[in-house]
Amino acid sequence: MANDVKPTISVIMPAYNTGAFIVDAIKSVLDQTTPDFELIIVDDGSKDDTAAKVRLFDDKRIRLILQPNAGAAAARNRGMRSAEGRFLAFLDADDIALPTRFEKQLAFLETHPEVGLIGAAAEIWENGGPSGRFYRHPCAAPELAFEMLFENHVVHSSVMVRRNVVKAVGVFTECESRRHEDFELWSRVGRRYAMANLPDVLVIYRMHPGSICATANFDANCVMLASENIAYASGSLWVRSTHRVLAALIRGQNPAVRGVKYESLRNLLIRLAKRMEKRFSLSAGTLDEVLSQYHQNLRHHWERCYGPLPEPVPSLASRIGKKLT
């Protein structure tokens, strides 16, 4: 940046063989209504013309870093280590940021100092154009915090996070046994800071055969991460079988574990909601609506894996009342 003035936003863009898409991604950053940014592109050992496409742009805000192929997490971490902005914005090289994304997210973070990370809704493109589908995740911090215990509800290419938050919790994991690195990092952020999503569609997410979500199965790893989240949120010092079974069932997976009672899982869900209400200083019952949805989800997948639950035995008072009528 000129005169050693540091940018407000550092945009981190990992790229691997994205020559077919990266020009659109870069243009979408340069077209932002907020121009106070640096764009750090980390070419992760591409074998196509990705780097050549980046060099077509003559803009001092763009920095190209070349490294041997080490994976998306390593490329993002390399970019984050080079960042100078107070805020880090992530955008994959095959996605597109809509023009007001940085402006709206920066305004939100400046007026909500308690929020460490902000995401947004995203439009899904397939085969080069709109699919008519969207990622619309919970927006309010308490609901998002509860649902993030079980599953990633933040679109990676929509994330803007305070740089000091990343300094506090660490960067993306590069451990192969803990893949789905964005969910893993957002989980660490969510344990210490509030997170939120804007309802606005601010990103176009391309889904194609080369994208990670289309080629990798993260189910087992996500259950492990969700189990850790549940254990931490419930105040446990270690992951128990109830945490693993609840994580698997909520995510629609067969836990292949016997001996855990349904009521124990249901009570754990209630306890998690109450602890989240206390954390955000909410009135008791504020999360009842989302809790009801999770109860239904739990029961559905329990019965799919273990068979029907017995119907509750009516109380004596209700039986007497029924006879009297």
- The radius of gyration of the chain from alpha carbons, rounded to an integer in Å, stands at 22
Which amino acid, 229? Answer: N
Same domain flag for 210 and 241: no
Q: How far apart are the first and last CA of the chain?
A: 81
For residue 37, is it within any domain? yes
pLDDT at 211: 53
Same domain flag for 106 and 249: no
127-131 mean pLDDT? 91
Same domain flag for 118 and 246: no
Same domain flag for 51 and 149: yes
Q: Which residues contact 85 (CB under 8 A, 6 or more apart)?
A: 6, 7, 8, 9, 10, 37, 38, 163
For residue 317, is it within any domain? no
For residue 312, is it within any domain? no
Range of the structural domain that residue 255 is part of: 219-306
pLDDT at 177: 78
Q: Which of 186, 215, 244 is the last residue of a domain?
A: 215
Same domain flag for 190 and 42: yes
pLDDT at 5: 84
60-104 per-position pLDDT tens digit: 999 999 999 999 999 999 999 999 999 999 999 999 999 999 999
For residue 302, is it within any domain? yes
Report the chain's mean pLDDT, rounded to a whole number.
93
Q: How far apart are CA 310 and CA 308, in angstroms?
A: 6
Same domain flag for 193 and 231: no
Which of these, 204, 67, 38, lies nearest to 132 by C-alpha position?
204
Q: Which residues contact 184 (CB under 8 A, 6 or more apart)?
A: 172, 173, 178, 225
The DSSP letter of residue 99 is: T
Q: Determine what percent of the chain falls in helix, strand and coil, rounding each to the nearest 5.
A: 45, 20, 35
CA 239 and chain centroid, separation: 21
Rounded to 5 degrees, φ, ψ at 126 are: -135, 145
Q: Which of 215, 244, 266 is the last residue of a domain?
A: 215
- Asked whether the predicted pLDDT for residue 1 surpasses 60, the reply is no
157-202 per-position pLDDT tens digit: 999 999 999 999 999 999 987 878 999 999 999 999 999 999 999 9
Same domain flag for 150 and 246: no
Same domain flag for 205 and 270: no
Alpha helices in 11-62 (DSSP H): 22-30, 50-55
Q: Which of 170, 192, 215 is the last residue of a domain?
A: 215
pLDDT at 215: 37
Rounded to 5 degrees, φ, ψ at 50 are: -55, -50
At 258, is the pLDDT very low, low, confident or very high (cuts 50, 70, 90)? Answer: confident
For residue 315, is it within any domain? no
Domain tally for the chain? 2
- Asked whether the predicted pLDDT for residue 219 surpasses 90, the reply is no
Give the least confident one: 48-52, 205-209, 273-277, 287-291: 205-209
- Asked whether the predicted pLDDT for residue 322 surpasses 90, the reply is no
The DSSP letter of residue 149 is: T
Tokens of 59: 């803009």
For residue 118, is it within any domain? yes
Same domain flag for 201 and 235: no
At 314, is the pLDDT very low, low, confident or very high (cuts 50, 70, 90)? Answer: low
87-90 and 160-162 beta bridge pairing: antiparallel
pLDDT at 216: 40
pLDDT at 214: 41
For residue 320, is it within any domain? no
224-239 mean pLDDT? 97
Same domain flag for 173 and 263: no
- Helix, coil or strand: residue 63: strand
Same domain flag for 89 and 199: yes
- Asked whether the predicted pLDDT for residue 262 surpasses 90, the reply is yes
Same domain flag for 192 and 290: no
For residue 289, is it within any domain? yes
